[in-house]
Chains A and B, each alone.
Chain A
């Protein structure tokens, strides 16, 4: 049994069986993480390079922890303070790192498609840790894994089939939204995207999602709300007047949740802008599984790295 892919570039290329295999493996790693010794020796012979051309807290720490808990050797690279500022190209940078006998590359890049480009030029397995506004596959996997967990009772695992999930906020600039749509669709969930029209990509309904511009209606429809951050760093022209106005019309607060006749699950991929897309009384409420998502991130990334480390040619 192995994944159908050599790299994890995007959820788009995965089969449903791949996702289920990753979840099943992640279940086991979650158990490992409860042990007194939260570490297994599987990848003692593997070296992973974390190459981050864009800022990150959660994802980088989560990947690094996952790698270390698989006993892999880890090297970290971030573009600030590196030779990238001297004009070195992406392929040269990565090939120089690989020349030091690195087996796997985890990369975040601000250019959409950068990991696909890299996959055409190097031999090592690549894991996309977020590329521009395109995909963030491990985030989508941990989101779906957390939803599955939220609906599971005991050791019986729930499926996402037919679950109604709303993705709310800056859909246009969010790689989390796109990867989530692909992932949830493959698992048979119903997906709605909601947010202001200026932050909604055109033709998004062609991906098989419902589109809603009224956040209240989206909340009434869904069982799970995945709230996204407003990505001001990617908005090069004003798409709404002020953050305060956005918070008024599209922010999620306790009052809104209380007016629903049901308890919905609240998610957020982080970093949170408290008081903008989500209020503290929601982010810190019992319905929120935001910190479970972070916890599950390590197990999911361990599973992805483990499964991709796969078969290797034995050196004579």
Chain B
């Protein structure tokens, strides 16, 4: 097991990602942050908080998206129980930033895009991930905001711990 980011590095990385997001979106009125259930939501909570803090804007558009019903492995392995989808605004013509913790095969993001587009037609969709497991993609999907890039093989696992849920902030690589 190897620590990729400790709590301090994780905080710096999240700060940088939030700043990049603000830099790229000069008018946050039309920008929506959408976290992917279940684990991406812990990250998007932080990003949404940091964006509010950086800009001083209280009302940014923030939602959560569950992708269970859009998975391509419904009949393989165990059933996944859905979590809540909560997008309390129209995504029509918005700039949506999807947020997830780890980008691996890209299949989750494919499902998330399908799920998102069933909620309306956004102007564009970007992808923010904390960890990009490079070279393990099974679909042509690339992130726009990357916290940290790692080269891994399939048998390895990247695990992100969040204070709010796991009582510590840490990203580890498990062999």
Bound Cα distance A70, B59 (Å) = 35
Q: Does A306 contact B (CB under 8 A)?
A: yes
Bound Cα distance A188, B81 (Å) = 24
Q: Does B79 contact A (CB under 8 A)?
A: yes
Q: Does B134 contact A (CB under 8 A)?
A: no
The one of B77, B82, B118 in contact with A25, judged by C-beta atoms closer than 8 angstroms, is: B82
Interfacial chain A residues near B74, Cβ < 8 Å = 42-43, 309
Interface string of A66-84 (1 = CB under 8 A from B): 0000100000000000000
Q: Knowing A35-B119, A40-B70 touch, does A28 contact B78 (C-beta < 8 A)?
A: no
Contact A2–B85 (Cβ < 8 Å)? no
Contact B69–A312 (Cβ < 8 Å)? no
Interfacial chain A residues near B118, Cβ < 8 Å = 35-37, 39-40
Q: Does A311 contact B (CB under 8 A)?
A: yes
Q: Does B157 contact A (CB under 8 A)?
A: no
Q: Does B114 contact A (CB under 8 A)?
A: yes
The one of A28, A40, A311 in contact with B76, judged by C-beta atoms closer than 8 angstroms, is: A311
Bound Cα distance A290, B114 (Å) = 34
Bound Cα distance A2, B70 (Å) = 17
Interface residues on B, range: 20 to 34
Question: Among the interface residues B68, B71, B82, which one has the most CB atoms of the partner chain A within 10 A?
Answer: B82
Q: Does B154 contact A (CB under 8 A)?
A: no
Contact A311–B68 (Cβ < 8 Å)? no
Q: Does B84 contact A (CB under 8 A)?
A: yes
Contact B66–A1 (Cβ < 8 Å)? no
Q: Knowing A21-B81, A25-B82, A35-B118 touch, does A311 contact B69 (C-beta < 8 A)?
A: no
Q: Knowing A28-B66, A39-B118, A42-B69 touch, does A311 contact B82 (C-beta < 8 A)?
A: no
Question: Residue of B at shortest CB range from A21?
Answer: B81
Interfacial chain A residues near B81, Cβ < 8 Å = 1, 21, 24-25
Closest Cβ of chain A to B69, distance in Å, is 4
Closest Cβ of chain B to A247, distance in Å, is 44
Bound Cα distance A40, B116 (Å) = 11
Bound Cα distance A1, B38 (Å) = 15
Interfacial chain B residues near A310, Cβ < 8 Å = 75, 79
Q: Knowing A36-B120, A43-B74 touch, does A1 contact B68 (C-beta < 8 A)?
A: no
Q: Does B80 contact A (CB under 8 A)?
A: yes
Contact B78–A24 (Cβ < 8 Å)? no
Question: Residue of A at shortest CB range from B118?
Answer: A37
Closest Cβ of chain B to A17, distance in Å, is 11
Q: Knowing A31-B85, A42-B69 touch, does A307 contact B76 (C-beta < 8 A)?
A: no
Question: Residue of A at shortest CB range from B71?
Answer: A42
B:91-137 near A, CB below 8 Å: 114-115, 118-120
Interfacial chain A residues near B69, Cβ < 8 Å = 28, 32, 40-42, 70, 306
Contact A307–B79 (Cβ < 8 Å)? yes
Interface string of A7-44 (1 = CB under 8 A from B): 00000000000000100110110011001110111110
Closest Cβ of chain B to A309, distance in Å, is 7
Contact A1–B70 (Cβ < 8 Å)? no
Q: Knowing A37-B118, A41-B70 touch, does A31 contact B84 (C-beta < 8 A)?
A: yes
18 CB < 8 A contacts A-B: A2-B79, A24-B81, A27-B84, A28-B69, A31-B85, A32-B69, A32-B85, A35-B118, A36-B119, A36-B120, A40-B115, A41-B70, A42-B69, A42-B70, A43-B74, A45-B75, A307-B79, A311-B78
Which 8 pairs show the lowest CB-CB distances between chains A and B? A40-B69, A312-B75, A28-B82, A37-B118, A42-B69, A2-B79, A1-B81, A42-B74
Residues of B within 8 A of A (CB): 66, 68-71, 74-85, 114-115, 118-120
11 additional A-B pairs beyond A1-B79, A28-B83, A36-B118, beta carbons within 8 Å, are: A1-B81, A2-B79, A21-B81, A28-B84, A32-B69, A36-B119, A40-B118, A45-B75, A311-B76, A311-B79, A312-B75
